[in-house]
Amino acid sequence: MIILAAVIFNNIIQLLGEFVFTIPFYFDSMFTIAVGILFGWIPGLITGLLTNLGMELTHSFHGLSGPFAVVNMASGVIAGLIAADKDKYWSLSRQIYMILALTTANVLLGAYIVNVLFGGLTGSPPDILVSALLLMGQNQVLATIMARIPINLVDKGLPVLVIFIGYRIFQSRKKKQTG
């Protein structure tokens, strides 16, 4: 039930970002990351896979979301593995590590898929920056990597920090009630 809710929320937020707010972020893995952190890497992996299958459905099977399922699945796995040790997970340094690991994996996997399957451009948020870098003479592979770094830092950092802040608020309220 949690996985299904996360998939639905991932798809709703992604559609809102793409069509309503037209912001240059993916917002397709927020709840995948949350599920990975809170419930483990296997539910995170399943959430990532089903989210991208859902995006194919909501986009009339356009063929762009399916290949990126591996990226979303990687987000769930990384979040789940890093958060597995709950005693150490809630430190700020572990949050920074999580954001950097998620960003690195998403940038490299996403750039690989874009270059191998789509020739460097997919019509997604980073493509404007990729095009600008290509016009400035940058090599295509490096351009697709560089363009994805700032977007993924925000896109993956936001859910990690929201969960971290929420946890800290919950813990401080819990301490006040018990002590």
What pLDDT digit, counting tens, does each position of 12-33 carry?
Answer: 998 888 777 777 778 889 999 9
At residue 179, the pLDDT reads: 63
- Cα angle vertex 85, ends 74, 51, to 5°? 25
Q: How far is CA 56 from CA 3, 26, 28, 68, in A?
A: 17, 14, 12, 10
16 lies in which domain range?
2-178
- In single-letter form, the type of residue at position 75 comes to S
Residue 156 has pLDDT above 80, yes or no: yes
Kindly report the CATH number assigned to the domain that includes residue 98: 1.10.1760.20
Q: Is residue 28 within 8 Å of 6, Cβ to Cβ?
A: no
At residue 62, the pLDDT reads: 82
At residue 175, the pLDDT reads: 81
| Total domains, the chain | 1
Query: What whole-number distance in Å separates Cα of residue 34 and Cα of residue 155?
Result: 13
